[in-house]
Amino acid sequence: MPKLSVIIPCYFNEENIPVTTQELVANEANFPPEVTFEYVFVNDGSGDDTLGALRRAQATYPSRIRIIDLAGNVGSYNAIVAGIAHATGDCLAVITADLQDPPELMAQMYGHWQQGFKLVLGNRQDREETGFLETMAKVFHWLMKNLALRNIPDGGFDFVFFDRQVATEVLNIHERNSNVFYLMVWLGFPYVSIPYVRRKRQIGQSRWTLSKKIKLFIDSLMAFSFVPIRAISVLGLGLGAIALVYGLYVIILKIIAPNEPAGWTTLMVVLLFVSAFQMIALGVIGEYVWRGLDAARNRPLYVINKIYEESLPGK
């Protein structure tokens, strides 16, 4: 019998957990009767009573729910990796704890998995952000598609369904400061993209802050693209050519008009421009060096405080 492991990273989701577990269990009716389910909730160092809510849900559904309680907050992607590492299903899915992604879509994803596809993506066709945040999200996905991974779908995706082989490959890579969803696409397996409209959040507030989004953009771009470091080389060559031309101009001007007053304004503009470029270049290089240092340390992506297994008979 095929087993589906649903991984749910949790961060300040105390109020969501009762509704989420009920909807996930109710969604089992959309699957063939031979499918069995396992729900792997990963508590990512939540500061509220998310763990207590998960324990109460586990008491209600003891045979379905496993809880991975992390020692501290490591970010949603590392929490997902922790969930993948402890999931036991033949196929796996990742869904948000606030259920903005519709659970009923998993049945359609399962159908594609049965047809042999090892990766199925839920492709967002609409988003809850408006104004500046919406524009920033569109720019992010456009840059990632055109500069890093050309085979990702437009609009982004946070809802994935994948085979055990994909899970094993992701765990074997053990990549740091990356985007685990993009890593699945990078593996190269053919995938199916299913468009859907994301729900509006009904309970609580999102903890996905602007600073986290900026970090995600930097991590994703540098993990899958050489464009930032290549841009420095190209711009450096361009500035070198401009400097050569300007140097020739200064020499010729000195010969033709030796009494011409020095161009302090032009000199300062050039100096400030080159200095700004050098600082940006050092910043980009520093990002790569820091990632190399972080990988060399080989610290764990997460530390588990405790795993709450299902209650066994007689215990």
Q: How far apart are CA 86 and CA 67, in angstroms?
A: 10
Contact 68, 41 (CB under 8 A): yes
CATH architecture of the domain with residue range 3-209+300-308: Alpha-Beta Complex (3.90)
Distance between CA atoms of residues 135 and 139, nearest Å: 6
Q: How far apart are CA 81 and CA 301, in angstroms?
A: 8
Contact call for residues 160 and 121 (beta carbons, < 8 A): yes
Which residue, among 139, 122, 135, has the nearest Cα to 199 in the 3D structure? 122
Residue 89 contacts residue 164 (beta carbons within 8 Å)? yes
Domain assignments of the chain as residue spans, ordered by start? 3-209+300-308, 227-297
Q: Compute CA 118 distance to the chain's CA centroid, rounded to the nearest angstrom.
A: 19
Give 233's contacts (C-beta < 8 A, 6+ positions apart): none
pLDDT in tens, 295-312: 777 778 889 999 998 643
Decide if pLDDT at 313 tops 50: no
| Per-residue model confidence as pLDDT tens digits over 124-140 | 876 565 666 667 777 77
Give residue for tokens 């402890």. Answer: 86
| Angle at 56 (CA atoms; ends 167, 164), nearest 5 degrees | 10
| Ramachandran angles phi, psi of 265, nearest 5° | -65, -50
pTM of the model: 0.76
pLDDT of residue 312: 38
Length of the chain equals 315
For all residues of the chain together, what is the average pLDDT? 82
Q: Which residue did the predictor score with more confidence, 245 or 171?
A: 171
Longest CA pairwise span in the chain (Å)? 100
Alpha-carbon distance 61 to 189, whole Å? 34
pLDDT recorded at residue 245: 74
Strand-pair partners of 120: 161, 192
Angle at 122 between CA 46 and CA 7, to 5 degrees: 35
Binned at pLDDT 50, 70 and 90, residue 165 comes out as: very high
Rounded CA-CA distance 78/123 in Å is 22
